[in-house]
Amino acid sequence: MRVLGIDPGLRNLGWGVIEAVGSRLSHVANGVIHSEGTDLAARLLSLHAALTRIVAEHAPDAAAVEQTFVNKDGAGTLKLGQARGIAMLVPAQAGLAVGEYSPNAVKKAVVGVGHADKGQIAHMVRYQLPRVELAGADAADALAIAICHAHHLQSAGRMAAAMRGVA
């Protein structure tokens, strides 16, 4: 199964694609989309176009997006939410179900603790995906989201198989 992870951002949107075969994970691609334009509509459009190209090129089977946390800057949170809307819309347009994970859930799945810093996340992504060349911290976060989703899907598959065995 190919999983796309997306770390939404209005200026920099991180993305990462992994391949999950059983419990084995491998890196496919990662990068950071830098929005273009000066007004909000143009930036959102550029994010949509670039992410659409990535989905078409890498043909993921599943996608996951990090949930937005609310901070003290209400306007900033709203803009981030709009970028997150693009991050959810593009995979949905491709017919993919989109998983959503809190930042702490992603950190716990990848690092083992829910309050890891960006350096720890990048280190564990490199450990779990040997020889990966990270395009930046946003791309590392996106790969961590993909890893989290792959683990979740594997657990859900094992649970469904176990439930079929009981019935």
Catalytic residues: 7, 66, 138
7 labelled binding-site residue: yes
Helix (H, G, I), strand (E, B) or coil at 94: coil
Q: Are strands 12-21 and 98-101 parallel, antiparallel or unpaired?
A: unpaired
Tell me the C-alpha distance between 39 and 13, whole Å: 17
DSSP of 144-160, one letter per residue? HHHHHHHHHHHHHHHHH
Closest by CA position to 148, among listed 121, 114, 109: 109
Exposed e or buried b for every residue in 108-128, given b needs 16+ CB within 10 A?
A: bbbbeeeebeeeebbebbbeb
C-beta atoms surrounding 156 within 10 Å? 11
**Binding site residues for Mg(2+), as ranges?**
7, 66, 138
**Binding site residues, as ranges?**
7, 66, 138
